[in-house]
Amino acid sequence: MKVLITGGAGYVGYSLIQQLIKLGDKISEITIYDNLSRGNYNLFFSALLKHPHLKLVQGELLDSRKLRENVKKADVVYHLAAKVTTPFADLDSHFFEQVNHWGTAELVNILEENPVACFINLSSTSVYGANANPMDESAIPHPNSFYAISKVRAESHIKRIMSKLPKVYIIRAGNVYGYNPPMRMDAVINRFMFEANFKNRISIHGDGNQKRAFIHVNKLAEILGQLPFQNLLNGTYNLAEHNFSVNEISDYLKDIYPNLETLYINQHLQMPQMQVATPCRVLEHLQFTPQEFFAELMDFKNHFSF
């Protein structure tokens, strides 16, 4: 099976490639299609990623000719490429539209002409917008940031090919956290861990009671790696394991760093909630290795140099 991963040089891409390599002979080729715009090249210096047919194609989603050439060679396409941000950030609307919306539209157009056995798109639970109650897949998206709007628009194109390809999955992931070499440091748990370890202080905006949905990067990759081999119905699936408030995360960190200081900024403000219903429906159909949240944070701490 030949696999193409758009945005494969990024945070989720690294862990996904690790998972695919573990599948051995099931995966004959892995192609990373990435424009390297993040400027993070750590993936390319990892001794952990060893596969005889792992290669990089540097290209843009809107480079139709190059993208089409690579889609034609693939059996499975993972669409991870996206301009990402923190959930409620509202800047750079043009870039979100170009990459997340129109880039996905271009990929879908190519897939209509060149069908593959399985297409998996990584979306976000941010499409639900602020919500007081946990959302499931039946909830109507209510995006309230440029990022979330671009993700909803991208999903609308993918739904067009749900009945045309054998397997099409939209995975709406919660906030991703956990260590790997090209990790995102703007993700809330990753940033808190860094600040706790090196500054002994974290900053919390608002009263800290705002809840978010979370999924560890390796667990996300574990699920993504299984999807091409499962008889899951085509459709949209949420993927998160925890709903934690910022204060709850702070309490976990204080168990690891007992002298941790907590600085509240605008503590009188109630920040937006963003939760999903757990356990997520997709986990009923797939093998999943749960790990206790505290143990995941300790593993993260052990990767720090000092």
Confidence band of 290 (pLDDT split at 50, 70, 90): confident
Give the contacts of 87 (CB within 8 A, at least 6 positions apart).
Answer: 124, 126, 145, 147, 148, 175, 212, 272, 274
More confident of the two residues 293 and 94: 293
- Whether pLDDT at 215 is above 60: yes
Q: How many domains does the chain have?
A: 2
CATH number of the domain bearing residue 193: 3.90.25.10
Which residues span the domain enclosing 265? 178-212+243-301
Burial tier of 41 (Cβ tally within 10 Å: 0-12, 13-18, 19+)? exposed
Mean pLDDT for the chain overall? 93
Q: Sheet containing 175-177: which strands, arranged edge to edge?
A: 175-177, 211-216, 242-245
227 with 206, same domain? no
Question: Looking at the domain assignment, is residue 306 inside a domain?
Answer: no
87 with 52, same domain? yes
58 with 106, same domain? yes
* Predicted pLDDT at 88: 47
- For the residues 112-138, what does the mean pLDDT come to? 96
Residue that terminates a domain, selected from 202, 221, 241:
241
43 with 187, same domain? no
